[in-house]
Structure 1
Amino acid sequence: MINKNVKVRSFALALCFTAPFAMAEIQQVSGGLSTGAAADLLFQVETLQQEVQQLRGLLEEQGHELKLMKESQRNRYIDLDKRISLLMSASAANEFNQPSPSAQSEQKTSPRNAVDAPMSAPIPFAPVNLQPPTVQSQQAYNNAYDLIRQRKFDDAEMAFSAFVKEYPSNTLTGNGFYWLGEIKLVQGKSQEAIEAFSTVTQKFPGHNKEQDALYKLGTVSDQAGDTEKARSYLQDVIKRFPNSKAAQLAAGYLSKIK
Structure 2
Amino acid sequence: MHAMIHRLAVVSATTALMLGASAAHAFSDDEARRAILELRTQIQQLKDQNQQARLQLADQMDMLHQEIATMRGRVEELNRPANNTNGPANAPQVSVQTNDPQQQAVYQAAADQYRNGRYSEAATSFAAFVDAYPDSELAADAQFYLGSSQYASKDFKKSIQSMQALVQSHPDNARAPDALLVVAADQIELNDLKGAKASLQRIIKDYPSSAAAETAKSRLKLL
TM bucket normalised to smaller: 0.5 to 0.7
Contact 1:201–1:213 under 8 Å retained in 2: yes
Calculate the TM-score normalised by the size of structure 2. 0.57
Q: Distance in 1 between matches of 2:174 and 2:109?
A: 21
- State the shift of 1:219 in Å: 2.5
Which residue pairs with 1:68 in the alignment? Answer: none
**What whole-Å deviation, never above 9, does each CA across 1:164-219 have from its counterpart, x for those lacking one?**
11101112112112111111122221111111111101122212211111111123
Matches within 5 A, 1:118-157: 134-157=100-123
* Counterparts in 2 of 1:157 and 1:94: CA distance versus 1, 3 Å: closer
Contact 1:144–1:156 under 8 Å retained in 2: yes
Q: Distance in 1 between matches of 2:144 and 2:108?
A: 14
* Counterparts in 2 of 1:193 and 1:88: CA distance versus 1, 3 Å: same
Calculate the TM-score normalised by the size of structure 1. 0.50
Which ranges of 4 or more aligned residues in structure 1 deviate by more than 6 Å?
Answer: 91-94
Which residue pairs with 2:82 in the alignment? Answer: 90
Which residue pairs with 1:169 in the alignment? Answer: 135
Which residue pairs with 1:188 in the alignment? Answer: 154
Q: Distance in 2 between matches of 1:97 and 1:228?
A: 34
Q: Distance in 2 between matches of 1:167 and 1:193?
A: 20
Which residue pairs with 1:113 in the alignment? Answer: none
Q: Which amino acid aligns with 1:155?
A: E
Give the 3-state SS of the residue equivalent to 1:168 in structure 2: coil
* Counterparts in 2 of 1:219 and 1:146: CA distance versus 1, 3 Å: same
Contact 2:143–2:163 under 8 Å retained in 1: yes
* Counterparts in 2 of 1:248 and 1:96: CA distance versus 1, 3 Å: closer
- State the shift of 1:239 in Å: 2.2
Answering whether residue 207 of structure 2 is matched by residue 244 of structure 1, we say: no
- State the shift of 1:96 in Å: 6.5
* Counterparts in 2 of 1:86 and 1:189: CA distance versus 1, 3 Å: closer
**What whole-Å deviation, never above 9, does each CA across 1:91-122 have from its counterpart, x for those lacking one?**
77971663xxxxxxxxxxxxxxxxxxxxxxxx
Q: Which amino acid aligns with 2:184?
A: G
Q: Distance in 2 between matches of 1:160 and 1:210?
A: 17
Q: Distance in 2 between matches of 1:228 and 1:201?
A: 19
Which residue pairs with 1:50 in the alignment? Answer: none
Give the 3-state SS of the residue equivalent to 1:205 in structure 2: coil
Structure 1 vs Structure 2 CA RMSD: 3.0
Q: Distance in 2 between matches of 1:96 and 1:142?
A: 13
* Counterparts in 2 of 1:224 and 1:167: CA distance versus 1, 3 Å: same
Structure 1 stretch displaced more, 150-159 or 187-196:
150-159
Q: Distance in 2 between matches of 1:154 and 1:219?
A: 18
Is there any run of 5+ residues in structure 2 with no aligned partner, and where?
Answer: 1-67, 85-91
Q: How many residues align?
A: 149
Which residue pairs with 2:171 in the alignment? Answer: 205
Q: Which amino acid aligns with 2:79?
A: L
Contact 1:215–1:234 under 8 Å retained in 2: yes
Matches within 5 A, 1:48-67: none
* Counterparts in 2 of 1:174 and 1:86: CA distance versus 1, 3 Å: closer
Larger Rg over CA atoms: 2
Contact 2:123–2:147 under 8 Å retained in 1: no
* Counterparts in 2 of 1:240 and 1:157: CA distance versus 1, 3 Å: same
Q: Which amino acid aligns with 2:155?
A: K
